């Protein structure tokens, strides 16, 4: 009898769920697939642990992997990942909107709850929240049937002086950074204008808020990379596009 590959009918252990979710998230806003050691860093485990788990994920047919190369989700893996991402983001939205959490407090709680709630729970909660399209950090919430629309956005860091746009996403990877943005009153959907760069690789100078009462701010690399904007069409680019 052949070894009868386990099918991933059920949703896997919480570890499996986290691995798949992180593999997915890595490619959500750019397209290079994740490597073993990057995965290890993001999960806070040893490289050897990743190697072992990846073997299991291959066995569960959730990822494709040739030894020593990058790790990519199968369609079943992507389906599971989208389920987990939906759970995580619906929970974050609930914590902020219904329980009064600050946006830097929701991640850890959602990271655990996502493995425990039922589909019914998430779907009723989402309905109660009016089926939100994005979470408190601007990350898109996949629908129950597993479709997502990732908005067009660029990191603020990538924009040249003169560009304007609207903040579409604020990376929730660093809670301290979220608190900084909070204290500077930087929020989703705020208008921004890139003024320019301080000389010799210095900070990015950015103007925030409505054109009347705009504040100018110097942003370090970390901060500028965490802010994603939907850029307005720019005169200088009309021909290039």
Partner DNA sequence: GGCAAAATTTAGGCATGCCGAAATATTGGG
Partner DNA sequence: CCCAATATTTCGGCATGCCTAAATTTTGCC
CB atoms inside a 10 Å sphere around CB 95: 21
Q: Which stretch binds its own copies (CB under 8 A): 43-51, 112-120, 139-147, 195-203?
A: 112-120
Residues 60/6, Cβ–Cβ less than 8 Å: yes
Q: At closest approach, how far in Å is the CB of 172 from DNA?
A: 21
Contacts of 93 (CB under 8 A, 6+ apart): 129, 132, 135, 136, 141
Q: How far is the CB of 128 from its own copies (least distance, A)?
A: 7
| Least distance to its own copies, CB of residue 151, Å | 29
Instruction: Give the binding range for its own copies (CB under 8 A) out of 32-40, 62-70, 105-113, 164-172.
Output: 105-113
Stretch that binds DNA, among 38-46, 91-99, 161-169, 198-206 (CB under 7 A): 38-46
Taking the least distance from each CB to its own copies, the nearer of 91 and 227 is: 91
Residue 147's contacts (CB-CB under 8 Å, 6 or more residues apart) are none
Residue of 22, 90, 135, 170 that binds Mn ion (CB under 5 A): 135
Contact 90, 129 (CB under 8 A): yes
**Which residues, at least 6 apart from 40, have a Cβ–Cβ distance to it below 8 Å?**
46, 47, 49, 50
Q: Could you list the residues that contact its own copies (CB under 8 A)?
A: 95, 98-101, 109, 112-113, 115-118, 120-121, 124-125, 128
């Amino acid at each position: 009898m052949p070894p009868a590959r386990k099918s991933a009918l059920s949703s896997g252990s919480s570890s499996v769920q986290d691995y798949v979710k992180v593999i997915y998230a890595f490619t959500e806003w750019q397209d290079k697939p994740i490597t073993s050691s990057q995965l290890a860093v993001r999960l806070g485990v040893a490289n050897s642990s990743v190697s072992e788990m990846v073997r299991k994920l291959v066995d569960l047919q959730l990822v494709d992997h040739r030894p020593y190369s990058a790790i990519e989700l199968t369609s079943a893996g992507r389906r599971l990942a989208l389920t987990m991402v939906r759970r995580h983001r619906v929970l974050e939205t609930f914590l902020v909107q219904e329980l009064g959490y600050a946006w830097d407090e929701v991640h850890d709680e959602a990271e655990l709850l996502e493995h425990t709630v039922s589909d019914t729970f998430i779907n009723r909660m989402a309905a109660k929240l009016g089926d939100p399209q994005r979470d408190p950090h601007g990350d898109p919430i996949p629908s129950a049937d597993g479709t997502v629309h990732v908005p067009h956005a660029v990191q603020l860091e990538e924009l040249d002086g003169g560009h304007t746009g609207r903040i579409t996403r604020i990376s929730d990877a660093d809670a301290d950074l979220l608190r900084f943005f909070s204290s500077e009153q930087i929020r989703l959907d705020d208008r921004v204008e890139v003024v320019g760069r301080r000389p010799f690789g210095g900070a990015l100078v950015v103007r925030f808020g409505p054109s009347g009462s705009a504040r100018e701010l110097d942003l370090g690399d970390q901060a500028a990379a965490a802010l994603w904007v939907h850029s307005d069409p720019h005169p200088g680019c009309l021909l290039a596009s």
